[in-house]
Chain A
Amino acid sequence: MFLTKLALKNLARHRNRTLITASIIAFAVFFYLLLDSLIGGMTEMSYEMIINYEAGHLQVVTEEYWAEEEKLPLKNLITPEPELMTAVKNVPGYLGSSAELNFQAMVSNGVNELPVIGRGINPPDFAGVINLTDYFVEGEMFRVGERRAFGVSPAVIGKRLADLLKVQPGDYLTLLVKDRHETFNTIEAEITGVIHTGNPLVNEGLVYVPLDVAQEALAVGDRVSKVLMKLENKNRAPGVAKELAEQLQTINPRLAVYSWDQLEAVTVAGAKQMGNRLIMVIILLIAAIAIINTVILAALERMEEIGMMKAMGFQTKEVIYTFVLESTGIGVLGGILGVLLGLAGVGVFTVVGLDFSGIIDMAPYGIPVVGKIYGVWNPLSFVTVFAFGVIVSLFSSILPAYWAADKDPIKAIYPK
């Protein structure tokens, strides 16, 4: 007990050193927490982007289609029969479902052509899964059965695509597609709305047209590529997917259900975040070296004091205990300080957010995010990084304390 008290007293006695060392630890903890919150926020946001603008929580497709989805084939499509749709609507936590037909197309404004992905949708169903209402910068979403003059189809495109093609609502586009028989067909469309979302793919690579228009142009009858579903809680998606898949086996054994976390885009985003985590580990290593350095120097500086303690009859293990405890105390102090600062910093991040759009374009770095990035709370990180600070302080003090305590007291007091 005496040794513990002595260690704590030492902390107060060498106030400046304690504060400097603790502030280094606090800085490392704080910095880590901020970055962790930001990376967590980016990951979460890129998932939300994919869920909210592209994929929903669940997708009902045929397994064959899923395997070669990136080619957007017009084979292995599904027919949204009443039986299937009833099963879809009866899943727990169901919020909405939308059948869509995706296809490759060249969009032309009469001057230039660009490759895009065409997406046939049924607006009311689509809004139940992917709500674009707030993202219209011009015009609006077309309505069911809407046709413009001369039977021209309405279409909604992203802002970036509209800028590239130099078009606006009221202008005409031609979508050149290949139908199921590999024969060229065209969809003449008038732009009714322009959207600007947080998802770059939607902004520059998608053209929405009515589902029936797409089905007719591609000669696929009433078939669709997939049925998207939205649930109340995205974390329930994997479980619901499994249940629904079993149920659908009786309707059509080729049908499969995939949850959002199985999407390739999500896996890729996840893998990229793993890379970011590696950077975090390196940051922690650098912090650990700084802590070790400070603690070692602190111990060496007090070589004479250690010699005196030994001369007064302290045993080696008692000296080590005192020093390790003192160092751990600094770790705890720094950890608490860092966590407090982290709480404030992450709090600001989650509420105010960081605006990256003006600084750099994040899309090339695999982060499909534009606009503001908000941090997330990750309680586990707080606990982990606090423990890390304390443990590093503890272990880094053992060796120098042992080395000093093991010395002959006379040599320790008079090193020369």
Chain B
Amino acid sequence: MKKKTVGLTASIILILILIAGIFSVAYGALTAEEIIRRRDDNEYYDSARAEAELVIINRNRRIVKTMTSYGQGDNGLVVFTNPRDRGTKFLKRGDDLWMFFPDAEDLVKISGHMLNQGIMGSDFSYQDMMEADKLIDLYQFELVGEEELDGRPCYVLEGTAFEGKEVSYYRRKSWIDKERFVGLKEELYARSGRLLKVMTVTKVQEIEGRWYPLASVMEDKLRKDTRTEFIIKNIEFNPEIPEGTFTLENLR
């Protein structure tokens, strides 16, 4: 008799799971994990080459820096091309970051506290540049609602860092386009709950079959009247990157 009850309960649970599965597929209801995974698929690449512009706006001051960047797995290289900073380079290899100043012919390793400071006075910190891991590996996401953002329907997700994972921002709230699966806005919070940064994507475009954010604005909420626009002028996925691009020798 007891055996029969257990068997019946198991069957009911199994049926419920199946029904839940069929319904979620039928109605297109995705779990938070699936949404993030699809976003990661869009926004993370194995390798890319891009030409971009960094517009740093501090009160009435506006500074424009242009750069060419290369990314491959854990490595990245940024070469500034605007006249003032021409030849200044950043090299990221795994968890290490170096900077090369051509005028002083000086190679500086950026570590510790310096990582938290803004790149060339912008609202993007070196740390922001260093985070290359897929969000799904770092955060436990939860779907908290759906909202419309600038006319685009979005999923609103909240991610909390997995215990023991080394992440800069403890919590992040993301607005992800329901159709294109691109993050349109992101709020980054400290462990204390304080809002530190807000990133808003202002232009999304389909490139090589994937939707990719081409322009975004970052605002450091601990400073007033500052924001930095990051505009990608041209991006190429899986390009030919010469061997030795991500070496210290190449920096000099």
Contact = CB atoms under 8 A, between A and B. Distances in A.
B117 interface: yes
Nearest to B191: A185
A111 B190 CA distance: 18
B191 A184 contact: yes
22 contacts: A71-B112, A104-B112, A104-B113, A110-B223, A111-B224, A111-B225, A112-B223, A113-B220, A176-B116, A179-B191, A181-B166, A182-B167, A182-B168, A183-B161, A183-B167, A183-B168, A183-B191, A184-B191, A185-B170, A185-B190, A185-B191, A186-B190
Given A176-B196, A182-B168, A184-B169, A106 B222 contact: yes
Contacts of B194: 174, 186, 188
Interface residues of B, number: 22
Contacts of B116: 106, 176, 178, 184
* Chain A contact patch, size range: 20 to 34
Interface string A60-73: 00000000000110
Contact of A181 (B164, B192, B220): B164
A184 B170 contact: yes
B97 to A, nearest CB: 14
Given A181-B166, A184-B116, A186-B196, 8 more contacts: A71-B112, A111-B224, A115-B117, A183-B169, A184-B170, A185-B190, A186-B192, A219-B191
Nearest to A176: B222
A182 B112 CA distance: 10
B192 A217 contact: yes
A247 interface: no
A316 B99 CA distance: 76
Contacts of B169: 183-184
Interface of B: 112-113, 116-117, 161, 164-170, 190-192, 194, 196, 220, 222-225
A168 interface: no
Nearest to A116: B113
Contact of B224 (A110, A176, A187): A110
Contact of B223 (A111, A115, A188): A111
A108 B226 CA distance: 13
A9 B191 CA distance: 89
Nearest to A174: B222
Interface of A: 71-72, 104, 106, 108, 110-113, 115, 174, 176, 178-179, 181-188, 217, 219
A380 B247 CA distance: 59
Contacts of A174: 194, 222
Given A108-B222, A108-B223, A113-B222, A185 B192 contact: yes
A117 B44 CA distance: 36
Contacts of A115: 113, 117
B191 A188 contact: no
Nearest to A108: B222
Nearest to A183: B170
A70 to B, nearest CB: 9
Contacts of A217: 191-192
B60 to A, nearest CB: 14
Instruction: Rank and list the top 5 A-B pairs by shortest CB-CB distance, nearest first.
Output: A108-B222, A104-B113, A185-B191, A186-B194, A182-B166
B222 A184 contact: no
A281 B217 CA distance: 62
A413 B172 CA distance: 103
A188 B168 CA distance: 18
Given A71-B112, A174-B222, A188 B166 contact: no
B116 to A, nearest CB: 6
A5 to B, nearest CB: 72
Contacts of B220: 113
Contacts of A182: 166-168
Nearest to B111: A71
B196 to A, nearest CB: 6
A209 B192 CA distance: 16
A113 B164 contact: no
A384 B120 CA distance: 56
